Structure 1
Amino acid sequence: MTRQQLSSATRQHSDSDSDTSYKTATSFHQFVLSFQWLITLLPLSLLSPVPFQGEHNMEIISVGEHNLNVYLNLAQSYEGEFSGITRKKPNECGLFPLDTQISDNTKGYLLIIDNTPAGLAAILAKSNNKYEVSEFYIIPYFRKQLFGKHFAHQLWRMFPGLWEVKQITGADDASVFWRKVISEFTLGNFLEDKYEDSYWGLVTRQQFCTVSE
């Protein structure tokens, strides 16, 4: 689920937690069905802005053995910045424990801007084209320049399906960020509720659909 200030940081755990919605006009399943008419009418290029192109060179690179150390280094910055919310402390070596490990089901990505590591993301692939943003972080130097938005949008283009993003209690700026970014990508077609997560407790959750071009 997301822990972010004006950056982007997302935390996720457990797919079996109970759901306490405060916007329960429709279930997510009903939302998906009602969204089908929009999917058939609008191509993905209209559902989201074009990839960022400007005076900076922005790349998204998959995490593998050759660059896992870069991901882990950024993850430590991420953990330290949000330790006030997560109440984590480093170990005797000065390292914070990580909640999400890169694995077959959870893929890591690095945002590289002008050859500089600028952020990270971890995407959990569930069954039947369902995905969750498990981790998301932009370092302070690159914030408020739309890089976080374009990073998220490009990741959603890469994996059409049903998505969810969660923010832990106390990460109010994160919720503001995700509502705006998701709303721009989906033209406002998303659901938000409160969700009791077994690992993080009460979180804010957004759910939405992406489609292939």
Structure 2
Amino acid sequence: MEIKLVPVTVEDKEVLSNLYQLYYYDFSLFTDQDVNRHGEFEVNIDYFWEGDHRWNPYLIVISGYIVGFVVVLFENLDTDPDPTHVIFDFMILQKYRRNGIGTAAATKTLDLFKANWKLAQMENNKPAIAFWRKVLKEYTKDNYTERYLSDHHKYIQEFDRRERTK
């Protein structure tokens, strides 16, 4: 099982937009967001391709099948050689969850860039918190920090990948 991270081009924007419908559906358990009168979630990802090169969306593909997506944000691209990258959105289709695909895709994503990394989860999204804690504990050999932002109701994990070898 080889996981590929395929950069999403503007030509594939509709594919990613469709996947975001599923992502927002999953997330509605935690956000209470509703669909609009057309039965769709309000999704606008145009800004990924509108000149701000900090946005890096990828399709997660296995054996030619799209199994999810990840969006990496170069949070402070202008501070190179000390950048911070954020896994902004991450979604594995339900059919492919709980069998190691999400962990493998997360690891492959973190291996893309030698940078400081930051991740965030809403406090009520217990599955995401557990997933990222497990991934980061293994990936960093338990060498990451976590803090809770009470004003935002989020958990934030951070670690430095600049010196890590694959």
TM-score computed with the length of structure 2 as normaliser = 0.86
Report the equivalent of 2:12: 67
**AA in 1 matched with 2:48:** I
- Kindly indicate whether the alpha-carbon contact (under 8 Å) linking 1:62 and 1:109 is maintained by their aligned counterparts in 2: yes
Aligned mates of 1:90, 1:130 — CA distance in 2: 33
Measured against aligned partners, the alpha-carbon deviations of 1:77-129 in whole angstroms (never above 9, x if no partner) come to: 01012212111111122221237652421110110112111011111102231
Paired residue secondary structure (1:66): helix
Report the equivalent of 2:96: 142
Which residue among 103, 107, 115 is the counterpart of 2:64? 115
Aligned mates of 2:89, 2:55 — CA distance in 1: 10
Aligned mates of 1:161, 1:174 — CA distance in 2: 22
Unaligned runs of 5+ in 1: 1-55
Which residue among 110, 116, 126 is the counterpart of 1:156? 110
Paired residue secondary structure (1:93): coil
* RMSD (Å), alpha carbons: 1.7
Percent of aligned positions with the same letter in both sequences? 25
Paired residue secondary structure (2:129): helix
**AA in 2 matched with 1:113:** I
Paired residue secondary structure (2:41): coil
Aligned mates of 2:135, 2:19 — CA distance in 1: 22
Using the TM superposition, give the Cα deviation of residue 169 of structure 1 relative to its aligned residue in structure 2, in angstroms.
Answer: 2.3
Runs of 4+ off more than 6 Å: none
Report the equivalent of 2:73: 124
Measured against aligned partners, the alpha-carbon deviations of 1:44-93 in whole angstroms (never above 9, x if no partner) come to: xxxxxxxxxxxx34211001122221111111001012212111111122
Report the equivalent of 1:8: none
Q: Report matched runs for 1:1-213 at 5 Å.
A: 56-98=1-43, 101-103=47-49, 104-127=53-76, 128=79, 129-196=83-150, 201-211=152-162, 213=165
Aligned length: 155
TM-score computed with the length of structure 1 as normaliser = 0.68
Aligned mates of 2:95, 2:116 — CA distance in 1: 31
**AA in 1 matched with 2:8:** V
Paired residue secondary structure (1:207): strand
* Structure with the greater alpha carbon radius of gyration: 1
Aligned mates of 1:196, 1:107 — CA distance in 2: 28
**AA in 1 matched with 2:118:** E
Aligned mates of 1:64, 1:183 — CA distance in 2: 32
